[in-house]
Amino acid sequence: MCRWLVYCGTQPILLKDLIFAPQNSLIHQSFNGGFHPGLSGKNNMGLNADGFGVGWYGCSGAAIFRSVSAAWNNRNLRELCGSVESRCVFAHVRAASGSVISEENCHPFRYGPLLFQHNGHIEGFKRIKRRIFAELRDDVYDWVEGTTDSEACFALVLTLIDPAHLKQQFVPAEALRSAMLGAIALLRTFLHEAEITKGYSTFNFALTDGRTVIVTR
């Protein structure tokens, strides 16, 4: 499984102080997963080397930097994190669960003012993928670039948000909450209808517009 962090505060923080500096930083965990308390082989990976991404909010709104390289070995990430401050930050290190390693598949994903990231997987995703995509609005369907279950989940969330909200700087908190819970409910329905009962799905989602953060587990 992947690993991620979220910061949302009243004061901006230097990305380096958030992502690199802590003793148990996300960068440290990406190459030393055993440092994580409660590590188990079922739901943790010892190495997160299949790409990374950072999302933040600046003067022009949401921005992302993603790469397929290992986070601990990317000079550009270190340079960027030493210069950028933000009051809302998403960061993600990836351990691919069957999908292609590409920038399009790295988190966080961005759509308009929103950022989204996921830790985990959707069991039997290929068996419900067509059902998920059948629910999407045309504009959201056309936006999807990658092949991950995570991006498909985000697309489902986006479809449940009024398009007018997505043209604004901020989305009402209740609209974000309702869309996230609605997407999870649909996913559970699709899994049930496909009779996927073995294994497990993890809906560890994070969604933000830079002001409100919705997190599920």
Residue 52's beta-bridge partner residues?
67, 93
Q: Where are the alpha helices (DSSP H) in the chain?
A: 15-19, 26-31, 75-81, 125-135, 138-143, 149-159, 173-193
Cβ neighbourhood burial of 97 (10 Å; 0-12, 13-18, 19+)? middle
Q: Among the options 2, 8, 106, 153, which is catalytic?
A: 2
DSSP state letters, 92-148: EE---SSS--SGGGSSPEEETTEEEEEES--TTHHHHHHHHHHHS-HHHHHH--S--
Nearest partner of 26 among 115, 147, 121, 107, judged by Cα: 107
- 106 noted as active-site residue: no
Active site residues: 2
